[in-house]
Amino acid sequence: MGKGKKIKIIVAVAGLLLLAAILVFLFAGENIEVFKAFFRKGITQEEIRENAQRFGWRGVVSIGLLSMLQVVFMFLPAEPVQVIAGVSYGLWFGILVCEIGVLVGNTLIYIAYKIFGTRLSEYYSKKIDIDWSSAKTTRSVSLIVLVLYILPAIPYGMICFFAASMGLKYPRYLLLTGLGALPSVLIGVGLGNLAITASLIWAAAVFAVLLAILLVLFLKRNALAAKLNAYLKRRATPYTSDYELRDTHKVLFRLFFFLAGVYVRLNFKVKYKNLTGKLNRPSIVLVNHGTFVDFLFSGRYLKKYYPNIICARMYFYHKTMGTLMKMGGVIPKSMFTADLESAKNCVRAVKQRKGMLLMMPEARLSTVGRYEGIQNATSKFIYKSGADVYLFKIHGNYFARPKWGNGPRRRSPVECTLDRLCSSEELSSMDYEAFTGKLDRAMDYDEYEWLATRPEIKYRDKRLAEGLEGILYKCPCCGAEGAGETQKRTLRCTVCGNEVHLGDRYAFREGPFNDLRDWYDWQQEVLDKEITADAEYRLESKVELKHSSKDGKTCLRHAGEGVCRLDRSGLTYEGTDDGEEVSVHFNGNQVYRLLFGVNEDFELYVGKEIYYFVPENKRLCVKWYQCSIALKEYFKE
């Protein structure tokens, strides 16, 4: 006998024992006499209901438990219990009792799935012509669950198990399965109530109509299943970050930047200055990237042009977020790697559509509030675009919401200046070296130099230094790495106890460094010397590997664990990847820079896939970034 058959026999025996226990509970005491009264000759419909109600609270509890059992144990029919509920307690109270029992049964299946997972699939399975594999990848889970309740011969427990396996949150799961069962409960209880309150002719007529409908559905079950499977196949296409540029949904675009304007006005004091007047199209607008919300500052000001904004592909891995961004004309880009799809979309936006492309050419947030350079491929694209090139220069953005900070510094000043870098005619008459020189000079910025010219600005945030341990990872006193901790305005080394305090103008009140730049530059110098002196230098750590989400419910998913090593040859990962042992090497030309999230990860893209590494000590993520900079002379772009 197979294991699955044994499980079904055990479950069936358990179900019958529980059913027997409920019947014993119901007929205990004087209730056995009530039961005998139903078989008295000449009993009227009214007397039947009166007798049923004499079961009291035991009857209500028993009906609820039986409704629960018919969900959990698929071989138990639901209709007899529902009809009895209608006979005994009327339409509305009968529905309430049965529905509560159904919801309890649904909850038990949800809990069982969370505990045992797919091990219960041997029991909650039945030979039905439904393409369950497609159903599990459908983008219309709610609709499919509700439709399954309408189809004949599909037990409620099987539908509940399917819904639980889709990873639905409990409130949504309970709402869907409860609503799905409600029509059947209504019909069953309604028939019982009709049998008591109406004439037998009416009751028989309604019963005959319902029976005919059920018979037609049963006979057409294969055709209905085929249509459902065809629909599932169409809807089962997994979500992807792939995107071909389409017309921007202007209402959605305007609504987003209206809400963005509210956010900006609540958190920052922004001043705009336009030195060029109306912008021409096609055009490219370049924005320096000091903070995560630079696209809000620039997009809000340029919203009347409906620019296509370039954004990191990782955010498109989330289905809802990605779909909305695609509708808004946002173009996904795999940073620091060849991305043919993104390049085609950018060309389409500028040349074919004669539109406006808004981009942050640095392609990563500034670490300490200054210009960090542009990849050669990006400069070449801008140079060959043949479009007018504008510069949207932002100052104060880094201090208002730094990469490493815990949120916006409320009411911080931000200054935005829009100017033309070069016209299409000037661009065509300029050689590439001259253009890149002009581009670097125009993009160059240093937030501390800007702040020095504005002595009136002070940042009063009480938690100003929190998160700074993710940028300044090395203690200048004892040399410990990844041992810093911050509280409010203090950064402290947990090894030697050295402390520094961050003042209102992002300067240190004590210690060997004046500000973040000096400390960060010292870390870079130490790394440069170590790597120059040691040809075998390598940075190594245990990591968790994450990839793009498969179902689009999140941006990322856990993919494996292993060890990462960065040296002169590039980056190597050895460990598991989706259950397989792998050794993956990314050579120097694939590691222009390792992108990093402060106290989160370091990452790189390969095509449209991301390799997102979470190291053992998250405070050292910045070291991987600085190490990739120190190794740049050994890497070939």
Residue 295 has pLDDT above 90, yes or no: yes
Residue 161 has pLDDT above 70, yes or no: yes
Sequential DSSP letters for 288-314 = --SSTTHHHHHHHHTGGG-PEEEEEGG
Mean pLDDT of 463-480: 97
Q: Which two tokens stand for residue 60?
A: 């209500």
Predicted confidence at residue 64, as pLDDT, reads: 78
Taking 3-state DSSP, the helix, strand and coil percentages for the chain, each rounded to the nearest 5, stand at 50, 20, 30
Mean pLDDT of 281-297: 96
Confidence of residue 145 (pLDDT cuts 50, 70, 90): confident
Which are the contacts of 203, defined by CB distance < 8 A and separation ≥ 6? 191, 194, 195
Sequential DSSP letters for 89-144 = H-HHHHHHHHHHHHHHHHHHHHHHHHHHGGGGGGTS-------HHHHTT-S-HHHH
Predicted confidence at residue 165, as pLDDT, reads: 76
Read off the pLDDT of residues 557-585 as tens digits, 9 standing for 90 and up: 999 999 999 999 999 999 999 989 999 99
Residue 135 has pLDDT above 80, yes or no: no
Which are the contacts of 107, defined by CB distance < 8 A and separation ≥ 6? 174
Mean pLDDT of 154-182: 82
User: Mean pLDDT of all residues in the chain?
Assistant: 85
Confidence of residue 487 (pLDDT cuts 50, 70, 90): very high
Percent of the chain whose pLDDT exceeds 70: 79
Mind listing the domains of the chain with CATH numbers?
A: 3-234 (no CATH), 250-452 (no CATH), 468-531 (no CATH), 534-634 (2.30.29.30)
Please say whether the beta carbons of 154 and 186 come within 8 A. no
CA torsion through residues 286, 287, 289, 293, sign: negative
Residue 190 has pLDDT above 90, yes or no: no
Predicted confidence at residue 318, as pLDDT, reads: 93
Q: How far apart are CA 383 and CA 66, in angstroms?
A: 74
Q: How far apart are CA 515 and CA 510, in angstroms?
A: 10
Q: How far apart are CA 163 and CA 185, in angstroms?
A: 19
Read off the pLDDT of residues 581-598 as tens digits, 9 standing for 90 and up: 999 999 988 888 999 999
pTM exceeds 0.85: no
Residue 450 has pLDDT above 50, yes or no: yes
Nearest to 484 by CA among 329, 305, 623, 366: 623
Q: Evaluate the omega torsion of the peptide bond into residue 413 and state whether it is cis, within 30 degrees of 0.
A: no
Q: How far apart are CA 99 and CA 106, in angstroms?
A: 10
Predicted confidence at residue 38, as pLDDT, reads: 45
